[in-house]
Amino acid sequence: MRILFYAPAINPEAWIAALKQALPQAEVRNWEEGDVAPADYALVWKPPREMLAGRSDLKAIFNLGAGVDAILQLADGLPAHVPVIRLDDAGMGVQMAEYVTHAVLRYFRRFDQFDLQARSGEWRFLKPREKNEFPVGILGLGLLGQRVAHALAPFEFPLCGWSRTPKNLPGVECFHGAEGLDAFLAASQVVACLLPLTAETDRILNRERLAKMPQGSYLINVARGRHVVEADLLEMVQSGHIAGATLDVFEQEPLPAGHPFWKEPRITVTPHIAALTVRDESVRQIAHKIAMLERGEAVTGLVDRGRGY
Ligand code: NAP
Ligand code: GLV
């Protein structure tokens, strides 16, 4: 069995060693430009078009992350009948739960304001927010969105969620479909975006939608930068309609030096670190799925290219 590996910005050696250990029968190579030698599986993150174009010899392409937008944008550069398989959590769920819970609690308990006060030596009481007036809304109730809902539940926030298809999750008021979006936004004092980036969700958080969120509400985006129209968000934050935002993802990454988000104190920026791919868990999951595929069994995480996730 021959495996191709490609993930820019990481050192491939440790991954290749871990893959060889998990799949001793496999020959694993780091893909380099011009490599058209046969392969059975490809493990990739943001692959270039020339890596996968015409590779109908592959039995499957494994995406080394949850979001498949970068791979699906290759369109006809992606061999038509080769299954694309995403990572199912693989250690990302707990990180996403930590990140979103931290952002929600920081805003709810006014730690952002207390930090600013402390820096100027100010000892001042701020009125606590009322929990029953603080519903947290999760856009996207997939593997990561549900993990976040599960993490927030013990803090007793009212929870709501929005998905494409109807859901019934204990303790979560569930909305779905285009017709459910306005009601979901109006019901959420915090919106945490955990959607995949697809034709339907591209720029979904524009001025019109942000205006549907209650006055003084808060946005957390840990999905993709293109879900948010950045100029619209900035305007809504500066007008005070949106109280602030914690953003991990941006239209252009790294966030350019002169971008107004850097200077806006109500916007917290992190460099796309909400949930990183964890090598050993990912290798274990992929090796297990390869073994299942080799036995002709079905695996989870199969991407529906038409749906876009
Ligand atoms: P997932 O399991 O595929 O879940 C996606 C959820 O979004 C599902 O609930 C789905 O609805 C919903 N959805 C999709 N299209 C929709 C639409 N048009 N309208 C309403 N709901 C829609 O994805 P995941 O594993 O939770 O990951 C979510 C995203 O997080 C990834 O795609 C990736 O972009 C991002 N991510 C970011 C980081 C980071 O470090 N910042 C790390 C990992 C992942 P259904 O349930 O009805 O299908
Ligand atoms: C990271 O952004 C991922 O999609 O896994």
Summarised one tens digit per residue, pLDDT across range 114-155 is 999 999 999 999 999 999 999 999 999 999 999 999 999 999
End-to-end CA distance of the chain: 27
* Region for 274 from its dihedrals, namely left if φ exceeds 0, alpha if ψ lies in -120 to 50, beta otherwise: alpha
Fold of 2-89+277-294: Rossmann fold (3.40.50)
CATH, domain range 92-269 = 3.40.50.720
Ligand 1: residues with CB < 6 A are 65-67, 92, 140-145, 162-165, 194-198, 200-201, 222-224, 248-249, 272, 274-275, 309
- 9 falls in which pLDDT band (50, 70, 90)? confident
How many CB atoms are located within 10 Å of the residue 291 CB?
A: 13
How far is the centre of ligand 2, averaged over its atoms, from the C-alpha of 253 (Å)?
Answer: 13
Active site residues: 224, 272
DSSP designation for 281: H
Beta bridge partners of 63: 44
User: Coil, helix or strand for 21?
Assistant: helix
Q: Which pTM does this prediction carry?
A: 0.98
Whether 92-269 and 2-89+277-294 are alike in CATH topology: the answer is: yes
- Å from CA of 112 to ligand 2 middle: 27
The H helix count followed by the E strand count for the chain is 10, 12
Q: For residues 138-147, b (16+ Cβ closer than 10 Å) or e, as one string?
A: bbbbbbbbbb
* Whether 154 contacts 176, CB under 8 Å: no
Task: Show me where the domains of the chain are located.
Answer: 2-89+277-294, 92-269
Give per-residue pLDDT as tens, 96-125: 999 999 999 999 999 999 999 999 999 999
